[in-house]
């Protein structure tokens, strides 16, 4: 099965982190990505620019509306994702627990919807 | 002689849990398993009265259910891979006659797998409880809804959602790896104990004890003890439930009022349950350092051993609670520790510990803390403070029997003002 690991963390907190802390975080992410690439679980993965760069688009009454910022104000923001291949939820959550941000933020594990036929 | 349809139903009821667990493993889906099982029962009700009960009814039902499932899949053109796999397996069995020789061991494994699936931490606790009672306990959805005081459609919806999540999120049917096993066993035990407690001390509503839930929890506890013989906390939980349940008949009086442990007619305690519980506790304590359930069972054991309330070894209980506070730090355990210290060393010693808890605030909103304080204040003759504490407890209590008990006590300490 394929699972999307959505990485939520507190942006403000990360911005406040020292350069040294950020370097450590980057290194942990590189090691994690290498390890799940070698084990064959990695399908894709990216980091996102902060929510200050986000734009929301919706169409109402035929008109396209654009607004600055993310859809919802929450304590933790979507900051990146991995798409992984895992045999079941237990394997997927084990991999999710190894995402470096799991110890500060939250990793949401979502199975991909497979359309029949 | 050929069986009546009642006899067929009886065999079916006995075998249902085992067969369902195996079908869910074979078919890889709870809904498919339940549907196939219902279809197999229909077939049995037609064939057995006509042709006689088969030599191995369980194998017959599993085979019939699997064939029904293959038919359904074919009709719906669904699960093509699964169907091919099942047909190949059926063909192999026809050659080997494998299903008739299916051994107890593999059936046990199927139930163990299913328990871990039903109590998977990715499901909400209420869903874990409902699924466990439905698939392993064999309670009907209406019965579970009734026991938990929710409308039947709500419970049905809860079950549908849980089963869909298992399917869609890929929650496996598997006994967890050794490294995950302790945490996952804890989750299973928590579900079983929750079922027991929901039955023993209904959190709301009129009936103080809903017997069928306690009986079901004990049955599940036995099953687990059988399936996980190496886990001493499993046996400890069974001991705890047996020792607690042994007091059931004495815990509520003829009018449905709660009777405190110290006032209970100990002649009405269930001696067989106590004997079994004590034997289990002794075995568990000999096996190694006690976990939280073992300590709670040991405490229940001290009560069970006292022929009269006055014979209770409160020093032993207080020291067991002190250990439990370390193993399982929680406000409720600390409160029970304080109550035991009050019995062992006097109300003042207990009250000091409880007052510290009031300041700590961890049990804010829990009626038993002011109720316990009120009781100690009453014993110390500080009646005005006792009355205030009883009123505080009454403002928080949810269960009707508990409420009436507190009202009676309040009337005793503050007769003029009631």
In angstroms, the CA B413 to CA B418 distance is 10
The 3-state DSSP class for residue B308 equals coil
Is B170 close to A111, i.e. CB distance below 8 A? yes
Cβ burial, residue B221 (10 Å; 0-12/13-18/19+):
buried
Cα separation, B337 vs B350, whole angstroms: 8
Q: Which two tokens stand for residue A35?
A: 């390890």
Q: What is residue B295's predicted lDDT score, i.e. its pLDDT?
A: 97
Q: How is residue B3 annotated by DSSP?
A: P
Would you say A17 and A79 are in contact if contact means Cβ atoms under 8 Å apart?
Answer: no
The minimal CB distance from B170 to the residues A1, A113, A116 is found for A1
Q: What is the DSSP string of chain A?
A: -EEEEEEEE-HHHHHHS-HHHHHHHHHHHHHHHHHHHHTT-EEEEEE---GGG-EEEEEETTEEEEEES-SS--SSEEEEEEEEE-SSHHHHHHHHHHSGGGGTSEEEEEEPP----
Q: Which residue has the tokens 């939980």?
A: B237
Cβ-in-10-Å burial (0-12, 13-18, 19+) of A15 comes to exposed
Block mean pLDDT (10 aa), chain B, length 418: 85 86 90 92 93 91 90 73 70 56 66 93 94 86 84 95 94 90 92 89 56 87 91 96 94 81 94 97 94 97 95 97 92 94 96 92 88 95 95 89 90 72
**What is the distance between the alpha carbons of residues A28 and B289, in angstroms, rounded to a whole number?**
38
Interhelix angle B314-327/B292-305, nearest 10 degrees: 170
CA-based nearest residue in chain A for residue B179? A94
B398 — alpha (psi -120 to 50), left (phi > 0) or beta? Answer: alpha
Q: Please give the span between the terminal C-alpha atoms of chain A, in angstroms, as a whole number.
A: 16
- Tokens for B414, please give them: 């503050």
Q: Which two tokens stand for residue B338?
A: 């304080």
Give the domain ranges of chain A.
2-48+75-111
Distance from CA of B168 to the nearest CA of A (A): 7
pLDDT at B344: 96
CB atoms within 10 A of CB B103: 8
Predicted ipTM of the assembly:
0.86
Q: What is the pTM of this model?
A: 0.81
A47 in contact with B, Cβ within 8 Å: no
Q: Could you tell me which residues come within 8 angstroms of residue B339 by beta carbon, excluding any fewer than 6 positions away?
A: B350, B372
pLDDT for B179: 87
> Which of A5, A89, A108, A110 is the best residue to mutate to test the B interface, defined by the most B CB atoms within 10 Å of its own CB?
A89
- A51 interfaces chain B, CB cutoff of 8 Å: no
Residue B237 neighbours by CB distance under 10 Å? 31
Q: Do the Cβ atoms of B169 and A93 come within 8 Å?
A: no
Chain B CB contacts of A116 below 8 Å = 78
Please name the member of A87, A89, A113 whose beta carbon is closest to the beta carbon of B122. A89
Task: Report the pLDDT value the prediction gives residue B101, as an integer from 0 to 100.
Answer: 46
Which chain B residues are closer than 8 Å to A93 by Cβ? 122
Mark yes or no for CB contact B170/A92 under 8 Å. Answer: yes
Given this model, what pLDDT does residue B418 score? 43
The pLDDT, as a whole number, for residue B77 is 63
Mutate to test the interface with B, among A2, A41, A84, A90 (most CBs of B within 10 A): A90
A109 vs B contacts (CB less than 8 Å): 169
In angstroms, rounded to a whole number, what is the distance separating the alpha carbons of residues A10 and A101? Answer: 10
Sheet containing strand A2-9, edge to edge, reads A42-47, A77-85, A2-9, A106-111
Q: Which residue has the tokens 């019995």?
A: B343
Average pLDDT for runs of 10 along chain A of length 117: 96 88 94 98 96 93 91 88 97 97 96 84
CA nearest to B177 within chain A: A90
Closest CB from A87, A89, A116 relative to B169? A89
Question: What is the model's pLDDT at position B139?
Answer: 81
Q: What is the pLDDT of residue B45?
A: 93
Among left, alpha and beta (phi > 0; psi -120 to 50; other), residue B149 is left
Q: Which chain A residues have a beta carbon less than 8 Å from that of B78? A: 116
For tokens 């029904």, the residue is B68
Interface touch A90/B169, C-beta < 8 Å: no
Size of interface A-B (CB pairs under 8 A): 28
Please name the fold of domain A2-48+75-111.
Answer: Alpha-Beta Plaits (3.30.70)
Strand partners, A8: A78, A106
Q: How many angstroms away from the CA of A81 is the closest CA of chain B?
A: 18
pLDDT digits (tens, 9 = 90+) for B59-103: 999 999 999 888 887 777 666 666 777 777 766 665 555 454 455
The helix (run of H) or strand (run of E) holding residue B380 is none
């Amino acid at each position: 099965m394929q699972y999307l690991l959505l990485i939520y963390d507190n942006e403000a907190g990360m911005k406040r982190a020292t350069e040294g802390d950020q370097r450590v975080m980057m290194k942990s992410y590189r090691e994690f990505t290498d390890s799940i690439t070698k084990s064959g679980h990695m399908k894709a993965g990216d980091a996102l620019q902060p929510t200050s760069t986000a734009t929301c688009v919706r169409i109402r009454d035929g008109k396209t509306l654009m607004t600055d910022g993310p859809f919802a104000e929450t304590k933790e923001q979507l900051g990146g994702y991995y798409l992984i291949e895992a045999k079941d939820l237990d394997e997927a959550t084990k991999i999710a627990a190894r995402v470096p941000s799991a110890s500060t933020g939250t990793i949401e594990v979502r199975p991909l919807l497979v359309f029949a036929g | 002689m050929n069986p009546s349809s009642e006899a067929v139903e009886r065999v079916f009821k006995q075998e249902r849990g085992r067969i369902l667990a195996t079908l869910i493993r074979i078919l890889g889906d709870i809904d498919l398993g339940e549907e196939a099982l219902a279809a197999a029962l229909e077939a049995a009700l037609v064939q057995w009265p006509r042709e006689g009960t088969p030599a191995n009814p369980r194998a017959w039902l599993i085979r019939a259910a699997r064939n029904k499932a293959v038919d359904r899949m074919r009709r719906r053109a669904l699960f093509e891979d699964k169907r091919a796999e099942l047909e190949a397996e059926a063909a192999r069995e026809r050659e080997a006659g494998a299903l008739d020789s299916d051994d107890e061991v593999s059936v046990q494994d199927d139930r163990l797998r299913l328990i871990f699936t039903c109590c998977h931490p990715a499901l909400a606790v209420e869903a874990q409880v409902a699924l466990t009672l439905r698939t392993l306990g064999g309670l009907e959805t209406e019965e579970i809804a009734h026991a938990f005081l929710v409308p039947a459609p709500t419970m049905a919806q809860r079950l549908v959602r849980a089963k869909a999540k298992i399917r869609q999120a890929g929650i496996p049917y598997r006994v967890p790896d050794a490294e995950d096993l302790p945490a996952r066993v804890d989750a299973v035990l928590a579900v079983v104990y929750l079922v027991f407690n929901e039955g023993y001390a209904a959190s709301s509503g009129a009936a103080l004890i809903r017997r069928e839930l306690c009986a079901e929890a004990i049955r599940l506890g036995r099953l687990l003890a059988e399936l996980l013989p190496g886990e001493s906390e499993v046996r400890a939980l069974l001991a705890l439930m047996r020792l607690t349940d042994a007091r059931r008949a004495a815990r509520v009086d003829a009018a449905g009022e709660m009777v405190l442990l110290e006032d209970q007619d100990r002649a009405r305690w269930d001696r067989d349950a106590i004997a079994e519980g004590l034997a289990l506790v002794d075995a568990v304590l000999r096996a190694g350092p006690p976990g939280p359930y073992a300590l709670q069972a040991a405490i229940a054991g001290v009560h069970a051993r006292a022929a009269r309330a006055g014979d209770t070894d409160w020093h032993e209980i207080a020291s067991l609670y002190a250990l439990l506070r370390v193993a399982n730090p929680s406000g409720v355990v600390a409160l029970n520790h304080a109550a035991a210290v009050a019995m062992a060393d006097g109300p003042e010693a207990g009250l000091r510990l409880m007052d510290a808890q009031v300041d700590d605030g961890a049990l804010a909103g829990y009626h038993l803390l002011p109720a316990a304080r009120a009781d100690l204040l009453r014993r110390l003759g500080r009646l005005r403070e006792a009355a205030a504490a009883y009123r505080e407890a009454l403002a928080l209590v949810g269960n009707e029997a508990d409420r009436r008990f507190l009202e009676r006590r309040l009337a005793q300490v503050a007769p003029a003002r009631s």
